[in-house]
Amino acid sequence: MYEYIIGKIVVLTPTYLVLDNNGIGYYLHITLHTYGQLHAGMEEKLYIHQHIREDAHILFGFKDEKEREVFRLLLSVSGIGANTARMILSALNPDELTQAIASEQVSLLQGIKGIGAKTAQRLVVELKDKISRALPQNFPLTNNTFVDEALSALVMLGFPKQQVEKALRDIIRQHPQLSVEELVKMALKVL
């Protein structure tokens, strides 16, 4: 299993690239999200997912670990293969996708080529809990100082951080413009 490969990009297209590492050219399938962050001729570090089928060993490359983790979560959904997962991550970046799944935006997911109503619903049902567990950094509005202060205050009061994050996430989703005091008061009611 490969973790990452560092090398010079010798060929770069929207769907694949060739990464030269010590004279070996690795053919890596990529998403449009990763493509937008790369430049031909530059040395880059790409995180790898090796997909093994009966007839092929395929390498997928990602600019960051979060995108690779979301790709692997997509593969865990029945009916989603590697090419469909790549198509999904080409249509939505990892943050947009995790937010769409967390907020159950089935219509947004259906807008992706090759994703029908049943598949979009299956994505939400099968991944909603996995995303919150596997990607705790997917806490919305983490740059919001009110949320940070409320989180800090509640953790100092002795509540478990994960439980507080979940409560604040739910509150912010329903009431995005609350002050620190209002956030803490509402969170104390549900904790």
Does the model's pTM come out above 0.75?
no
CB of 108 closer than 8 Å to CB of 51: no
Please determine, for residue 41, whether its predicted confidence score (pLDDT) is greater than 50. Answer: yes
Domains, the chain: 4-62 (2.40.50.140), 65-134 (1.10.150.20), 145-190 (1.10.8.10)
Instruction: State both tokens at 30.
Output: 């990529």
d(CA 35, CA 16): 8
Q: List 117's β-bridge partners, or say none.
A: none
The pLDDT tens digits for 18-33 are 999 999 999 999 999 9
d(CA 56, CA 8): 24
Task: Say what the pLDDT of residue 135 is.
Answer: 56
The pLDDT tens digits for 109-167 are 998 988 999 999 999 999 988 886 665 544 444 446 778 888 888 888 888 888 888 88
